[in-house]
């Protein structure tokens, strides 16, 4: 009665299951069926499987709500330090059941590969990393990142907190290597200005450049997303024909993949947070 199945049909199902498993599951005692020892063992396993099946259904219901899951994000070391490290607390308050897996990616080629292979949902880099009109990726602008020159006194660069790239090129420069979009943009602007930069040291780590500048080895050229305030350095904005060198800094995702609602919310919340805290570093106040 409880199973809503006739006795002959139930007997056939039990017999078929015993044949499939190669075990006797029940003994007939009078008019009753009693589990064998083997049947008792399997009963516990079956109850565990039913519990797991129930948990899967409940998990699917939670996932449909869009506030539970795993979010995989790739970002550069300087962006993780400047923004992500604090922002993750804000995101966790709104989405406590979403696990964010953060992956450090220095070069855009690393991020691109992870996006194409479906290993991450969101990747962060400069807008110039993706060709205009690339049909594979969508993006959301976070903030504009300027190019700054940081140097140690008594050197004096520029006026009113800025220096033209043609003048800057003559100084010994400490720059990021060519895996960085900002470096490639710097090179392109030097060519437009008809000048060749005096590069004395390259690194993949902005703070290495700042440490070298602190010790008087040259002028560090770094994005405004890098924290410079922990170094006793003066900062000026790099310009070309009087205009600051800057690049939009968005997050990207693969348009061909489904984005969970908590991933879409992550991008929107991150953009709002970055607008509040950027730029991380600004030109130094003029000395009085």
- pLDDT 10s digits, 11-51: 787 788 778 778 787 777 777 777 787 777 777 777 667 65
Q: Does residue 63 register a pLDDT over 80?
A: no
Q: Which residue has the tokens 């990142």?
A: 145
pLDDT tops 70 at residue 53: no
pLDDT of 69-104, one tens digit each? Answer: 899 999 988 889 989 999 999 999 999 999 999 999
Burial code of 237-251, b = ≥16 C-beta within 10 A, e = fewer? bbbeeeeebbbebbb
Instruction: Dump strand ranges (E) for 132-275.
Output: 137-151, 162-164, 173-176, 199-203, 219-223, 234-240, 243-244, 246-254
Structural domains for the chain = 7-65 (1.10.10.10), 69-143+251-277 (3.40.190.10), 144-246 (3.40.190.290)
pLDDT surpassing 80 at residue 259: yes
The C-alpha atoms of residue 64 and residue 113 are separated, in whole angstroms, by: 28
DSSP type of residue 159? B
Whole-number Å distance between alpha carbons of 145 and 224: 6
pLDDT for the residue 64: 61
Q: Please state, in angstroms and rounded to a whole number, the distance separating the CA atoms of residues 188 and 186.
A: 5
pTM of the model: 0.70
pLDDT digits (tens, 9 = 90+) for 106-127: 777 788 888 888 899 999 887 6
What digits encode the pLDDT tens for the residues 145-161? Answer: 999 999 998 888 877 88
* Cβ-contact 235, 281 below 8 angstroms: yes
């Amino acid at each position: 009665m409880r199973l809503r199945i006739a006795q002959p049909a139930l007997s056939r199902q039990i017999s078929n299951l015993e044949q499939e498993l190669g075990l006797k599951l029940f003994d007939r005692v009078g008019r009753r069926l009693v589990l064998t020892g083997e049947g008792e063992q399997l009963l516990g396993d079956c109850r565990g499987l039913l519990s797991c099946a129930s948990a899967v259904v409940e998990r699917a219901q939670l996932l449909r709500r869009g506030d539970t899951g795993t979010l995989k994000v790739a970002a550069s070391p300087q962006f993780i330090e400047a923004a992500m490290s604090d922002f993750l607390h804000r995101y966790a308050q709104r989405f406590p059941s979403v696990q964010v897996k953060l992956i450090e990616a220095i070069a855009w080629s690393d991020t691109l590969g992870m996006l194409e292979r479906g290993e991450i949902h969101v990747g962060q880099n400069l807008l110039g990393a993706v060709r205009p009109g690339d049909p594979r990726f969508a993006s959301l602008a976070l903030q504009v990142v300027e190019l700054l020159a940081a140097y140690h006194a008594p050197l004096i660069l520029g006026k009113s907190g800025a220096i033209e790239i043609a003048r800057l090129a003559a100084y010994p420069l400490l720059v990021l290597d060519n895996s960085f979009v900002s470096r490639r943009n710097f090179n392109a602007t030097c060519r437009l200005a008809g000048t060749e930069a005096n590069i004395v040291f390259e690194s993949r780590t902005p703070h290495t450049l700042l440490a070298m500048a602190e010790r008087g080895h040259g002028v560090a050229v770094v994005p405004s997303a890098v924290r410079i305030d922990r170094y006793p350095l003066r900062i000026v904005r790099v310009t070309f024909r009087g205009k600051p060198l800057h690049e939009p800094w968005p997050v990207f995702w693969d348009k061909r993949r489904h984005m969970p609602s908590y991933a879409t919310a992550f991008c929107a919340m991150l953009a709002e947070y970055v607008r509040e805290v950027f730029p991380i570093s600004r030109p130094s106040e003029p000395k009085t």
